[in-house]
Amino acid sequence: MQIRAFYDEPTYTLTYVVWDEATKDAIVIDPVLDYDPLASQTSTKSLRELETFVIEEGLKVHWVLETHAHADHLSGSQYLKAKLGAGVVIGEHIQIVQKTFKGIFDLLEQFPTDGSQFEHLVQDGETLKAGSLDIEVIATPGHTPACVTYKIEDALFTGDALFMDDYGTGRCDFPAGSASDLYDSIQKLYAFPDATRVFVGHDYQPGGREVKWETTIGKSKANNPQLKGSTKKDEFVKMREARDATLAPPRLIFQSVQVNVDAGRLPDPHGNGKRYLALPLNLFKPTDDLGEIVVKDLKDAREAAE
């Protein structure tokens, strides 16, 4: 098995091409559609680079695998589906995420919340075939309810569940996220042999070090500053919830999620031929008509004064 990582610096995202060198059967994990939020402009530079690599290597891409509905970048899955004929896969609990965000974005009544926008919804314990590649599915909820880890031979592709061993884990403060669930999910991963390779969904380069994307279960259990092998569940949940309370929302959360719950499809054009993304106003701190934060208690009053 061969693995090629592509790093998207603006969103710190790792995309992987995984293939069988003998048969050329391949899959792509978590592709990125370039997006400039200031111009509200998409482009396919990163995807074309990945496509060129696939063509030059003579690979047959069977599936585009999403580890979850990302909140920090737009998925490039539809480009790869159109150009390479690959179906789009995500965890079955995307239905929970779709139902949650359908209300937040006030999506059309006919917007499906059954996951039917994707070619296949995988279940915990399932083995997905991609030619000669066997992809084992491990449900790892916590960051979102729909998060899955993909195991191919000795490698785990953990998405936003488990990051590099010098950084930590995914946050759990998105709607329907759960630090308790994430702890249990990572215990599943920590049950694998120490030599099992881990390929992460993001690398935030702590201390300004060079980008990395591969570690091991053993290193994670020994070194992870947020969740070592010896960390107790209550310790982790307390730490994770306290840390998450200090974090700002991801820069592209509104743009990303409404596209990604629809399997990476861009919004349909309006009558004027233009596409529009919906941006909720004051979602996290509701305001009155004058734009002032609505104060319900002392905590809200302190936040409003900041």
Kindly report, residue by residue over 168-182, the tens digit of the pLDDT.
Answer: 999 999 989 999 999
pLDDT surpasses 70 at 49: yes
Predicted local confidence at residue 130, as pLDDT: 98
pLDDT surpasses 90 at 287: yes
Whether residue 249 lies inside any domain: the answer is yes
Between 131 and 303, the more confident residue is 131
pLDDT surpasses 50 at 305: no
pLDDT surpasses 60 at 299: no
Query: Residue 22: CB partners within 8 Å, gap ≥ 6?
Result: 132
Residues 221 and 299 in one domain: no
For the chain, the domain total comes to: 2
Residues 163 and 289 in one domain: no
Whether residue 273 lies inside any domain: the answer is no
Range of the domain at 241: 2-265
Token pair for residue 95? 């239905």
Of 52, 115, 93, 144, the residue nearest 263 (C-alpha)? 115
pLDDT surpasses 80 at 302: no
Confidence band of 284 (pLDDT split at 50, 70, 90):
confident
Least confident residue range of 59-73, 157-171, 271-285: 271-285
Looking up residue 206, the CATH number of its domain turns out to be 3.60.15.10
> In the predicted model, what is the mean pLDDT of the chain?
95
Predicted local confidence at residue 54, as pLDDT: 98
Predicted local confidence at residue 306, as pLDDT: 53
Q: What is the pLDDT of residues 144-203, one digit of tens each?
A: 999 999 999 999 999 999 999 999 999 999 989 999 999 999 999 999 999 999 999 999
Predicted local confidence at residue 37, as pLDDT: 95
Query: Residue 237: CB partners within 8 Å, gap ≥ 6?
Result: 179, 180, 183
Single-letter code of the amino acid located at 164 = M
Whether residue 270 lies inside any domain: the answer is no
pLDDT surpasses 90 at 272: yes
Whether residue 146 lies inside any domain: the answer is yes
Q: What is the pLDDT of residues 83-115, one digit of tens each?
A: 999 999 999 999 999 999 999 999 989 999 999
pLDDT surpasses 80 at 296: no
Predicted local confidence at residue 304, as pLDDT: 47
Q: Using N-to-C axis directions, what is the helix angle for 179-190 and 233-244, rounded to 10°?
A: 130
Residues 109 and 243 in one domain: yes
Residues 291 and 143 in one domain: no
Residues 47 and 115 in one domain: yes
Least confident residue range of 29-43, 77-91, 143-157, 292-306: 292-306
pLDDT surpasses 60 at 297: no
> Number of helices and strands (H, E) in the chain?
8, 15
Residues 148 and 84 in one domain: yes
